[in-house]
Amino acid sequence: MLDDTDKRILRHYQHNPTTGFAELAERAGVTAATCTRRIEKMRQEGVIRGNHAVINWRALGREVEVSLRITLDKTQPRAFDEFLAAAREVPDVVEIQTFLGRVDVRLSVIARDMAHYQQVYRTAVLTLPHIADIEALMHVARIKSDEVLPL
């Protein structure tokens, strides 16, 4: 399992994912060799699943972001699987989450403008299978987005 050294490395790495291992080692107070070895081990064990570039969709002309909260028709036994498989085929969907609660699924959809959103909504979203109810929330601003775990 993870010890305090692993957690200390992760704490710094999370806050600075672009940092090289040498600098990270210095910040975490370990040798570069230890730092590299520990990170490699955590990668292999699946604790670190990846380090991804974050795309700013606005800079690519996608100004509109909408959260679609969807309730599925659960009388259909394969509703979840079929809905998710179809949603994966929509390129404008950047996030798919499933929930236990009032909502079954949330899709994050990005569009160039409201007219384009309308088009995506009508042609690609409303045609997804087994939707019982759908609710849209418009994204205004991201206040905090680092997704750091409180280790």
Partner 1 sequence: MIELDTMDRRILRAMARDATQSASALGRVLGVSQSAVWRRIKRLHENGIIRGQRLDLDAERLGFGVTVFLGVKLATKGRVSLDDFERAVSAIPEVQTVEHILGLYDYRLRVVARDIPDFERVLRRRIMMLPGVGDVEANVLLSEERRPGPIG
Summarize as ranges the residues that interact with partner 1 (CB under 8 A). 2, 10, 13-14, 17-18, 45-57, 59-62, 67, 88, 91-103, 106, 110, 135-151
Pick the closer one to partner 1 by CB: 75 or 140. 140
Q: Sign of torsion, CA 75 81 86 90?
A: positive
Pick the closer one to partner 1 by CB: 33 or 137. 137
The distance of closest approach from Cβ of residue 90 to partner 1 in the complex, given in angstroms and rounded to an integer, is 8
The distance of closest approach from Cβ of residue 96 to partner 1 in the complex, given in angstroms and rounded to an integer, is 5
Inter-residue contact 83 to 130 (CB < 8 Å):
yes
d(CA 108, CA 65): 7
Inter-residue contact 51 to 17 (CB < 8 Å):
yes
Pick the closer one to partner 1 by CB: 56 or 75. 56
The distance of closest approach from Cβ of residue 74 to partner 1 in the complex, given in angstroms and rounded to an integer, is 14
Q: What angle do CA 9, 1, 10 make, to 5 degrees?
A: 15
d(CA 94, CA 90): 9
Pick the closer one to partner 1 by CB: 97 or 123. 97
The distance of closest approach from Cβ of residue 19 to partner 1 in the complex, given in angstroms and rounded to an integer, is 9
